[in-house]
Amino acid sequence: MVNDQVASEPNVDAVVLVGGKGTRLRPLTLSAPKPMLPTAGLPFLQHLLARIGAAGIKHVVLGTSFKAEVFEEYFGDGSSMGLEIEYVTETEPLGTGGGIRNVLPKLRADNVIVFNGDVLGGTDLRAVLDTHRHTEADVTMHLVRVGDPRAFGCVPTDEDGRVTDFLEKTQDPPTDQINAGCYVFRREIIEKIPAGRPVSVEREVFPGLLAEGRRVFGHVDAAYWRDMGTPEDFVRGSADLVRGIAPSPALDGPRGESLVHPGAGIAPGAVLIGGTVVGRGAEIGAGARLDGAVVFDGAVIEAGATVERSIVGFGARIGPRALVRDAVIGDGADVGARCELLRGARVWPGVALPDGGVRFSTDV
């Protein structure tokens, strides 16, 4: 469908790395791989696949490992999205570089655009491909500018846009440009990545290419960008999608302060703001206040509870007048009435907290 409206990119394959364990998003990633977590009502990966399709790229290979089967069960051959999706599974995770090398037998095109499967972005992918072509690069890296580059791969470039260094998680970053987790490779470069062992694209492949004097270029832009790897970023990214701050061709219609699945129940007097999303079969009680909340399918928020900037897992229950702020509640957990869970608290799946059982204050 999407591909009929745009010129196609026949000489470009897309690869999406989705094999990570997503440890920073535990306990949600104990049951579902990070790229399949519901985000504005759809598996996160669907937003990225829709962008790939909208750029005219049809052939997509998913590099899977952790919970590999879930992806094919959901996306199948990709035809419902106008894509042709293939899957390559690593029995032992091969890392980001090993994952790219491992899909080589499925690649057909001369240029391969590779994505980390956990980035929410609005970059014009055709512009990244254009940069790759006009610089005749071996590899083109999408770069974004961030306030604090220390947690990322810092990538300085010269006046022509050529990458001069690649400094993974340095305490002393020379520039605010970071690796945005999207690269275009000439296929021959992928052929040179060692096969059959774990390889990090960030720590081994890129430094190696620079040491060999390969043509590595950066494509810098100011489009929306967020790595969804932590609960804080996941909540922010989800809210940005709901409110239309983050673009997604997979979402149509107007966007607003909340997105409620038609199969969810919202009692009178409940307040849903800040990009809150409520999944299928979820129930929100009277007077509950949800601000920037991500409520997965089948979860229950009881009357008078408050949920702010938090994720409530599948089938979990938040008891009456409980307060959940900047927290992650695992699938099927039961948070008793008047409990307070704040500042990075994580409740493991199925755990039951008795009424008033966890408090950050002495009020009763």
Binding residues for ligand GTP, how many (CB under 6 A)?
21
Out of 13, 118, 283, 308, point to the residue binding ligand GTP (CB under 6 A): 118
Task: Single out the segment in contact with ligand GTP by CB under 6 A; choices: 16-24, 205-213, 293-301, 316-324.
Answer: 16-24
CB nearer ligand GTP, residue 16 or residue 323:
16
CB nearer ligand GTP, residue 96 or residue 140:
96
CB nearer ligand GTP, residue 93 or residue 320:
93
How many C-beta neighbours within 10 Å does residue 130 have?
Answer: 13
DSSP annotation of 348: P
- Minimum Å gap between C-beta 111 and ligand GTP is 20
Out of 46, 65, 123, 306, point to the residue binding ligand GTP (CB under 6 A): 65
DSSP annotation of 14: E
Output helix, strand, coil percentages for the chain, rounded to the nearest 5. Answer: 25, 30, 45
Binding status of residue 90 toward ligand GTP by CB under 6 A: yes
The residue whose two tokens read 């997105």 is 259
Task: Single out the segment in contact with ligand GTP by CB under 6 A; choices: 22-30, 69-77, 165-173, 287-295.
Answer: 22-30
- Minimum Å gap between C-beta 356 and ligand GTP is 33
**Angle ∠(53,218,100) on CA atoms, nearest 5:** 55
d(CA 105, CA 4): 27
The residue whose two tokens read 């996306």 is 75
Cβ-closest position to ligand GTP: 20
Out of 99, 173, 275, 319, point to the residue binding ligand GTP (CB under 6 A): 99
CB nearer ligand GTP, residue 95 or residue 315:
95
Out of 3, 34, 129, 250, point to the residue binding ligand GTP (CB under 6 A): 34
**Angle ∠(117,148,52) on CA atoms, nearest 5:** 25
- Dmax over CA atoms of the chain, in Å, equals 67
Out of 30, 42, 82, 93, point to the residue binding ligand GTP (CB under 6 A): 93
> Which residues within the stretch 342-361 sit at the binding site for ligand GTP (CB under 6 A)?
none
Burial 316-327 (b: 16+ CB within 10 A, else e): bbbbbbbbbbbb
Q: DSSP string covering 118-184, please?
A: TEEE---HHHHHHHHHHTT-SEEEEEEE-S-GGGSEE--B-TTSBB---EET-SS-SSSEEEEEEEE
Binding status of residue 86 toward ligand GTP by CB under 6 A: no
**Angle ∠(260,295,50) on CA atoms, nearest 5:** 65
- Minimum Å gap between C-beta 181 and ligand GTP is 7
> Which residues within the stretch 207-236 sit at the binding site for ligand GTP (CB under 6 A)?
229
The residue whose two tokens read 């604090």 is 148
One-letter amino acid of 214:
R
Binding status of residue 17 toward ligand GTP by CB under 6 A: yes
Which residues of this chain interact with ligand GTP, rule CB under 6 A? Answer: 17-24, 34, 63, 65, 90, 93-96, 99, 116-118, 229
